[in-house]
C-alpha cells in the first residue's frame, strides 16, 4: 500500500488557518468532506473528534495522524495539512504539531486502515529532513510531490 493510493494533490492544505485542536479538526473534516457528496463534514468531524478524545493522535516530532472510521466514505480517504507556526495538539513530546495527516476508512476495513496508519507513521516519523522539506514547501503541488517522492522510496 502506498500513500499516493489514498491522497491526492487537491487534498493538501498548505497552511491551516486554525490555531486550536478543534479548529484544525474542523478544517481537516471540511477537506475530507470535499471528496464526496455522500460524506458530511459534521460526520467526519465527529469521527475525528471522538478518536481524539480517546488519546491524542499527535505522535511527536511535529506530526499528528487524526483518524477514524466512517462507512459513508466507502474507501480510504486522507488529507494532509501544515501549520507552519504549530498547534498545541497534546503531542506525546509536548511540542507543537506542524504536520497533520488525517485518515478515514470504512468501518469494515480494519486491515487497510492499520496498514495505512503504519505507512503514514513510518514515512513521517522516519526522516527529520523530510519533515523539514515539507514545512518549507509553499504550495499543495510541492507538498504532494515531496510525499509522492518519499513514498516511492519505501
- As annotated, the active-site residues are 67
| Exposure string over 18-52, b if 16+ CB within 10 A, otherwise e | eeebeebbbbbbebbbebeeebebebbbebbbebb
Question: Nearest CA to 46 among 34, 32, 58?
Answer: 32
Contact of 100 with 11, CB cutoff 8 Å = no
Measured from the Cβ of residue 122, the count of other Cβ atoms closer than 10 Å reads 13
How far apart are the C-alpha atoms of 117 and 130, rounded to whole Å?
18
How far apart are the C-alpha atoms of 105 and 82, rounded to whole Å?
21
Amino acid at each position: 500500500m502506498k500513500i499516493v493510493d489514498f491522497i491526492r494533490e487537491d487534498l493538501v492544505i498548505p497552511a491551516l488557518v486554525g490555531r486550536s485542536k478543534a479548529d484544525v479538526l474542523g478544517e481537516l473534516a471540511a477537506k475530507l468532506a470535499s471528496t464526496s457528496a455522500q460524506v458530511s463534514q459534521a460526520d467526519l468531524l465527529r469521527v475525528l473528534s471522538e478518536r481524539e478524545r480517546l488519546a491524542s493522535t499527535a505522535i511527536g516530532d511535529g506530526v499528528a495522524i487524526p483518524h477514524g472510521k466512517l462507512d459513508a466514505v466507502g474507501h480510504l480517504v486522507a488529507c494532509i495539512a501544515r501549520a507552519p507556526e504549530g498547534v498545541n495538539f497534546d503531542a506525546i513530546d509536548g511540542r507543537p504539531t506542524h504536520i497533520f495527516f488525517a485518515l478515514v476508512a470504512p468501518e469494515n476495513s480494519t486491515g487497510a486502515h492499520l496498514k495505512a496508519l503504519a505507512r503514514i507513521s513510518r514515512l513521517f516519523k522516519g526522516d527529520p529532513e523530510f519533515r523539514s522539506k515539507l514545512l518549507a514547501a509553499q504550495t499543495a503541488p510541492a507538498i504532494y510531490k515531496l510525499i509522492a517522492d518519499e513514498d516511492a522510496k519505501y
